[in-house]
Amino acid sequence: MFNQTFSADTQFRKASAEYNFGFLDEYAKKEVRRSVLKAIAIPGYQVPYSSREMPMGRGFGTGGLQLTLSLIGKKDTLKVIDQGSDDSVNAVNLRSFIEMTCPGIDTTTKVSEATLIQSRHRIPERELREDQILVLQVPYPDALVVVEPSEDKRKIMHGEADYSRLLVKLYEDIVKFNEITISHRYPTRINGHYVIDPSPIPRWDVPKLNNSKSLILLGAGREKKIYAVPPYTLAEPLEFDDIPFRVESFNDSTGKRRTCWRCGCDHSFLDEFIDAQTGDKRYQCSDSDYCDEQIKSQVNNQELEG
Amino acid sequence: MGYVAIKGGGQAISGAEKLLEFIRTRQGETGEPLDIETIENQLYFLHSRIMSEGGLFHPKLASLAIKQSMGDTLEASFALRAYRSTKPRLIESPILDTSNMRVTRRISASFKDIPGGQMLGASTDYALRLMRTELLDESPDAFKSIAGKWLDENRYDEIPDTFPKVLDALRDEGLLPPVNEAISEQKPFDITREPLVFPVPRSAALSTMARSETGSILALAYSNMRGYGDIHPTVAELRVGYLPVMLPHPITGELIEAGEVLMTECEVVAMYEDEENGDKPSFSLGYGACFGHNEVKAISMSILDRALQSGMKNGPTNPSEDPEFVLLHIDGIDSMGFCTHYKMPHYVTFQSDMDRLRTTQEKHTNKHEEASQKGADNV
Amino acid sequence: MLKQDLLGAHIKAIWLAETQQALFNSLMQVMSRPGRLDNWEQWLENSPAYLAVLATLLDGEVSLNDVHGLLTESDWPMLQAKKSEVELANYLLCDASKMVHIQPSLGTLSSPDFSATLILKVAQLSVKQGSMNLKLTGPGINGEAQVAVSGMEQAWLENRNGWCSAFPLGIDCILVDDTQIMALPRTTRVEILEAVHNGENN
């Protein structure tokens, strides 16, 4: 392998011949697969696994990546998103790595075409189907870490479904700020037992975990954990009777729902940014595929009407 | 088959890669590409460090990792570790006996005279850290003659290859507990195949520390040395040398020497503890070992090993005795990866943060307005 | 596996990485959706389905107990799994037509994943009628699911329900007939609707 000469353009992204399909060796894949089955059988429980080093930084989605690489086959169509977008640098980088190490697979930016979706920080707006699998990248897998630093003790608390300290923490928030201040990574109880960190998805996406048609797998590479929300499974954000769980509000000061400047959508999670020219605030769908889809259907409707 | 979704972000990545490659080669016509052998020899300590932190004894690939990462120790170890993780574990060696090490350096701080004698070997310990300005413009001819001259002048075959271990002498005198045969027969924990679920056995702690990042493990060991801990170690023996690796023959099962690895090993002796089971009091031990020549790492590891044993037995009283704290924070690949990831976009979570802050601010304002309203009413 | 490869001998599909990827995906789907039956016939080439399950999941890192001696000696080196006592084994292979008194590992409260997975060989799995009709509810099931199992001692299910009565402790079952596969993770509530005794109406 040392005598090969590559042109300067291609030398970084041509290693597939030297590596196994899916980069990981088959033993590593088997371990991930065994952990996935356990994770499904014990919904919300963080199954420890040995987590191999991937050729990209811990924290860049190596947990999700190991899941994807252990699951993917030549018949799969893969979509990779980061912040809702297929085109963000990290999504491009992960997708290009998977394409390189899994020759023969298809990739797509359309949710509807994908069999396997790896995502960081978002769940697609369009409801997923039973034949699709969502893999979420997880930086911090344990919702209890804010109240208990020792993993040993946290494992006991999880086993006993003892979340009293977490609830106290939420309550203290309410006393202090009159509001639950957790913005993302909202603690969510799965099947009435384990409370999970659902990865840094916004609260907007938390209801999508509940009774989902698709299997949702979560992988934390650095913390070496795999967990799952099986399909048709109860997923409830922690809340109090008088202070309910609330998703992000996109209403303006008059109470009117803001819309996407691009597609006009009034029911999606919006990114806020400042227009460089006018200095005005603008809002745009965070899920770029969904935004494109809305525009397309509007064009189609206009054509029909026209 | 093979339809590929391509979009603009890829251009940015490819541009960044090309720019990095430009930086590596920008010396232009006056430059020479770094030779793999040169890296292994002239960047000897860096090379050692990469093999130990990468957790793979592969001198050639370690050099390549240094070359392609332009000397970034974290990146180079990372590349080596990632390569390693694609390789299946085909065979296991038995526990190797370091008294068979072909020693190039061994010292003891506990005794002036040790069996076999002290051997200073190659060391920077007593070097004067003055700038050797004559190396700024070193003559290649002079450079090439130095090693040959040294070999001519030194009859290295007069020194024995192996030395008895200092610990054995201490053990014979009854100052150390006898070797626990039951423990040495236990199968060591393989951190590359099993996740750390606490509490972990000592073998898991040792292998985690053996591939830890040098600066990280030094920092934690230093906290213990300075007073966040109570080990007060004495280096019984520090040795550097080549350890024969014995592997079972695939057909006969007979142990054969497959090669040797450069290693640094350190054994520290610490003050004795009360023995609960009524055994004779004796010194306690800490053990450190890593690939390559890296004495600071081996010593730090031996101190932390001793500290962790205390923590595992009596409960941690400071960070360096806490297995979770130590073992989950010393891996360079894990920590640098996570540190780096903060540079990635966090638009969605930040949007969510702003939503919470605005809602809380609103409630705050309303509360104050209500309060001032009430105040006004009361007047 | 490597040796046979080098000698050029034919390797059955179930030992190939590509097949195992497909089989695992099916296994993952049936584990996610109790009551779903997948047919593996196209991959089996006359290998028993239980062997295909084991080939997909096992390697040298895990242990197996072949409770009823369903495996042949030559299967073991291919599977690479360690032989282990029933109480400690990660995987148990059982003939569900014969009940035995065993105590599989149920895991611990902090590590419920340290529990056994049972691969139970039955005569026939069906979505229609069989000698034992089951109603399934729980995670993965949209409302309820019904399956029929033939060639399984009812005591297996009764024991299974007992082992799974204190979540998160429990065992997970993978049921196979000649070519089909389904799963009962520990979260599934299994209700026996009717059981026709052996020898009668299959």
DSSP A199-237: -S-BGGGGGGGTT-SSEEEEEETTTTEEEEE-SS--EEE
Residue B306 burial by CB count (10 A; 0-12/13-18/19+): exposed, middle or buried?
buried
Is position B93 within any domain? no
- Measured between beta carbons, the chain C residues lying within 8 angstroms of A68 are none
Which tens digit of pLDDT belongs to each residue from B160-200? 778 888 888 888 888 888 887 777 778 889 998 888 888 99
Domain count, chain C: 1
* A121 HSE (CA, 13 A, CB side): 25
- Measured between beta carbons, the chain A residues lying within 8 angstroms of C185 are 40-42
Q: Alpha helix (H) ranges present in chain A?
A: 26-41, 62-71, 89-101, 151-159, 164-177, 288-305
Q: Six-digit token pair at C105? A: 């590992």
Q: CA of B286 to nearest chain A CA: how many angstroms apart?
A: 24
How far is the C-alpha of A193 from the C-alpha of A44, rounded, in Å?
A: 8
Which tens digit of pLDDT belongs to each residue from B240-272? 999 999 999 878 889 999 999 999 999 999 987
* Residue B196 shares a structural domain with residue B286: yes
Judge whether A58 is closer than 8 Å to chain B, CB to CB: yes
- Measured between beta carbons, the chain B residues lying within 8 angstroms of C61 are 193-194
* Residue B324 shares a structural domain with residue B199: yes
CB-based contact B18 A82, cutoff 8 Å:
no
pLDDT value of residue C156: 95
Is the bond leading into A124 cis (omega within 30 degrees of zero)?
Answer: no
Is position B109 within any domain? yes
Is position B152 within any domain? no
Which of B90, B82, B334, B95 shows the shortest CA–CA distance to B206? B95
* Residue A120 shares a structural domain with residue A211: yes
CATH of the domain at A177: 3.40.50.11310
pLDDT class for B276, splitting at 50, 70, 90? low
* Residue A219 shares a structural domain with residue A256: no
Taking CA atoms, B2 is separated from A73, A75, A80, A264, B190, in Å, by 12, 10, 15, 34, 38
- Measured between beta carbons, the chain A residues lying within 8 angstroms of B363 are 177-179
Judge whether B82 is closer than 8 Å to chain A, CB to CB: yes
* Residue B33 shares a structural domain with residue B179: no
Is position B304 within any domain? yes
Asked if the model's pLDDT at residue B2 lies above 50, the reply is no
Judge whether C201 is closer than 8 Å to chain B, CB to CB: no
pLDDT value of residue A14: 55
Asked if the model's pLDDT at residue B9 lies above 80, the reply is no
pLDDT value of residue A8: 34
* A285 a catalytic residue: yes
* Residue A150 shares a structural domain with residue A183: yes
CB-based contact B86 A24, cutoff 8 Å:
yes
Domain count, chain A: 2
Partner residue opposite B352 with nearest CB, options A9, A48, A183: A183
pLDDT value of residue C11: 87
* A44 a catalytic residue: yes
* Residue A92 shares a structural domain with residue A219: yes
Contacts of C2 (CB under 8 A, 6+ apart): none
Which B positions 113-132 lie with beta carbon below 8 A of chain A? none
Judge whether B90 is closer than 8 Å to chain A, CB to CB: no
Is position C15 within any domain? yes
* Residue A271 shares a structural domain with residue A213: no
pLDDT value of residue A215: 98
* Residue B115 shares a structural domain with residue B60: no
Which of A268, A275, A272 shows the shortest CA–CA distance to A293? A268
Partner residue opposite A92 with nearest CB, options B10, B199, B347: B10
Q: Which residues is B261 bridged to in the sheet? A: B243
* Residue A58 shares a structural domain with residue A189: yes
- Measured between beta carbons, the chain A residues lying within 8 angstroms of B13 are 89, 92-93, 96
Is position B268 within any domain? yes
Residues of the domain holding C106? 2-195
Q: CA of A305 to nearest chain B CA: how many angstroms apart?
A: 32
- Measured between beta carbons, the chain A residues lying within 8 angstroms of C167 are 193
Q: Six-digit token pair at B166? A: 């200092």
Q: Which of A30, A31, A217, A233 is most worth mutating to test chain C (most C CB atoms within 10 A of its CB)?
A: A30
Chain A neighbors (3+ CB pairs < 8 Å):
B, C
Domain count, chain B: 2
* Residue B54 shares a structural domain with residue B122: no
The sheet carrying B284-291 orders its strands as B102-107, B234-248, B255-270, B284-291
CB-based contact B344 A82, cutoff 8 Å:
yes
Is position B3 within any domain? no
Is position A5 within any domain? no
Q: Six-digit token pair at C65? A: 């107990």
Which tens digit of pLDDT belongs to each residue from B316-330? 999 999 999 999 999
* Residue A169 shares a structural domain with residue A287: no
Residues of the domain holding A271? 251-299
Partner residue opposite C139 with nearest CB, options A21, A43, A48: A43
Partner residue opposite C187 with nearest CB, options A159, A191, A231: A191
Which tens digit of pLDDT belongs to each residue from B74-118? 999 999 999 988 888 888 888 899 999 999 999 999 877 788 888
* Residue B201 shares a structural domain with residue B75: no
Q: Six-digit token pair at B261? A: 């690895």
- Residue where a domain stops, chosen among A237, A269, A289: A237
Is the bond leading into C48 cis (omega within 30 degrees of zero)?
Answer: no
Q: Which residues is B284 bridged to in the sheet? A: B270
Is position C19 within any domain? yes
Is position C27 within any domain? yes
Q: Six-digit token pair at C103? A: 């105590």
Helix (H) or strand (E) holding C132: strand C132-137
Interface residue ranges in chain A relative to chain C, Cβ cutoff 8 Å: 20-21, 26-27, 29-31, 33-38, 40-43, 45, 47-48, 71-75, 130, 152, 155-156, 158-160, 191, 193-194, 215, 228, 230-234
* Residue B114 shares a structural domain with residue B64: no
Judge whether C111 is closer than 8 Å to chain B, CB to CB: yes
| Beta-carbon count within 10 A of A50 CB | 19
pLDDT class for B8, splitting at 50, 70, 90? low
Low pLDDT (below 50) residues in chain C: 1-6, 199-202
CB-based contact B2 A105, cutoff 8 Å:
yes
- Measured between beta carbons, the chain C residues lying within 8 angstroms of B194 are 61
Catalytic residue chosen out of the listed positions A44, A84, A219, A221: A44
CATH of the domain at C67: 3.40.50.11310
- Measured between beta carbons, the chain C residues lying within 8 angstroms of B197 are 111
Judge contact between B314 and B273, C-beta under 8 A: no
* Residue B121 shares a structural domain with residue B18: no
Radius of gyration of chain A (CA): 21
* Residue A286 shares a structural domain with residue A199: no
* Residue A216 shares a structural domain with residue A108: yes
Is position C201 within any domain? no
Taking CA atoms, B217 is separated from A87, B212, C99, in Å, by 39, 7, 54
Q: Which of B197, B200, B251 is most worth mutating to test chain C (most C CB atoms within 10 A of its CB)?
A: B197
Is position C202 within any domain? no
* Residue B75 shares a structural domain with residue B175: no
Judge whether C114 is closer than 8 Å to chain A, CB to CB: no
pLDDT value of residue B377: 67
Is position B367 within any domain? no
| Beta-carbon count within 10 A of B73 CB | 20
Residues of the domain holding B281? 98-127+161-336
- Measured between beta carbons, the chain B residues lying within 8 angstroms of C111 are 197
CB-based contact C56 A33, cutoff 8 Å:
yes
DSSP result, A102-139: STT-EE-S-GGG-SEEEEES---SSPPPTT-EEEEE-S
Q: Report the mean per-residue pLDDT for chain B.
A: 89
pLDDT in tens, chain A (306 residues): 333 333 333 344 555 456 789 999 999 999 999 999 999 999 999 999 999 888 888 888 999 999 999 999 999 999 999 999 998 888 999 999 999 999 999 999 999 999 999 999 999 999 999 999 999 999 999 999 999 988 999 999 999 999 999 999 988 888 888 778 888 899 999 999 999 999 999 999 999 999 999 999 999 998 999 999 999 999 999 998 888 898 999 999 899 999 999 999 999 999 988 877 888 888 999 999 999 999 998 888 887 776
* A291 a catalytic residue: yes
Is position A243 within any domain? no
Q: CA of B117 to nearest chain A CA: how many angstroms apart?
A: 42
Report the range of poorest mean pLDDT among B119-128, B143-152, C121-130: B119-128
What is the largest distance, in Å, between two alpha-carbon atoms of chain B? 102
CB-based contact B193 C111, cutoff 8 Å:
no
Taking CA atoms, B335 is separated from B307, B331, C41, in Å, by 22, 6, 47
Which tens digit of pLDDT belongs to each residue from B281-331? 788 899 999 999 999 999 999 999 999 999 998 899 999 999 999 999 999
CB-based contact B197 C111, cutoff 8 Å:
yes
* Residue B230 shares a structural domain with residue B325: yes
How far is the C-alpha of B77 from the C-alpha of B83, rounded, in Å?
A: 10
- Residue where a domain stops, chosen among B27, B62, B84: B84
- Residue where a domain stops, chosen among B27, B55, B84: B84
Asked if the model's pLDDT at residue B47 lies above 70, the reply is yes
CB-based contact A48 C113, cutoff 8 Å:
yes
